[in-house]
Amino acid sequence: MQDPHQDITTKIYNFWAEEYKKSSENFIFPWNMFDLFLWELSGKKILDIGCAFGRDVLRLRNLWYEAYGIDISKNLIDLSDWDIKDFLQVGNMSNIENMYQASSFDGIFSSATLLHVDKEIALKILEHIYNLLDTEWIFFCTLKISESWETLFKESLSLPWVQKKYVYYVEEEILSILKNIWFKILNTHILETKNDNWISIICKK
């Protein structure tokens, strides 16, 4: 099952790959949430879903983690550093259960990726993520939140001249979804910005 707008999203990231890399290559997760994710990990094998040009895969491998990444944009992956190209692959997160075996990873993270697909598809992806994690291991994600259930096509910070699809969650809604999949919530942080509010969530299988 594929999001009805995925082809458009893929074309956007392929066409604007260089511009996206320039705007996001120095991004740092707020409030040390990524560091907290790593702190909770007991293992070394990590998957980045929506890895783009491999920014965080490179950071993790420089810290001696066994990190891998998938992304729908071939052009973004082509912009990755030569020494991590073998650890990145073009892939559709909607088919992630066919790409890896169950219990393959100690940690999985998805930063501003699930928000590009409809909620029924995101739910299936989250269920597959749960199965890809080994017992007791960690999932970290960031999503946009609002006080209403809505899907918008709007300009983004990374590509302010391009409209992208964003699916918003109510805070209680996404936490309930994760709990119903049997994730245990460990940590959350809400970042309020001028244009959007974001939630970062660390949870455990």
Residue 5: its pLDDT value, please?
A: 83
CB 135 within 8 A of CB 205: yes
Rounded alpha-carbon distances, angstroms, from residue 166 to 25, 52, 152 = 21, 17, 5
Residue 113: its pLDDT value, please?
A: 95
Alpha carbon distance 45, 67 (integer Å): 6
**pLDDT category, 198, cuts 50, 70, 90?**
very high
Average pLDDT over residues 41-68: 96
Residue 170: its pLDDT value, please?
A: 96
Alpha carbon distance 127, 108 (integer Å): 13
Domains parsed from the chain with CATH numbers? 6-24+41-204 (3.40.50.150)
**pLDDT category, 195, cuts 50, 70, 90?**
confident
Judge if pTM exceeds 0.85.
yes
Residue 31: its pLDDT value, please?
A: 75
**138 Cβ contact list (under 8 Å, min separation 6):** 37, 40, 41, 106, 107, 108, 186, 202, 203, 204, 205
More confident residue, 4 or 56: 56
What is the enclosing helix (H) or strand (E) of 45? strand 45-49
Alpha carbon distance 114, 108 (integer Å): 13
Residue 47: its pLDDT value, please?
A: 98
Per-residue model confidence as pLDDT tens digits over 80-127: 999 999 999 999 999 999 999 999 999 999 999 999 999 999 999 999
DSSP SS3 for 193: coil
Alpha carbon distance 64, 43 (integer Å): 11
**pLDDT category, 157, cuts 50, 70, 90?**
confident
Strand duo 163-168 + 133-145: pairing: unpaired
Residue 88: its pLDDT value, please?
A: 98
Q: Is the pLDDT of residue 56 over 80?
A: yes
Residue 29: its pLDDT value, please?
A: 83
Q: Is the pLDDT of residue 152 over 80?
A: yes
Average pLDDT over residues 154-165: 90
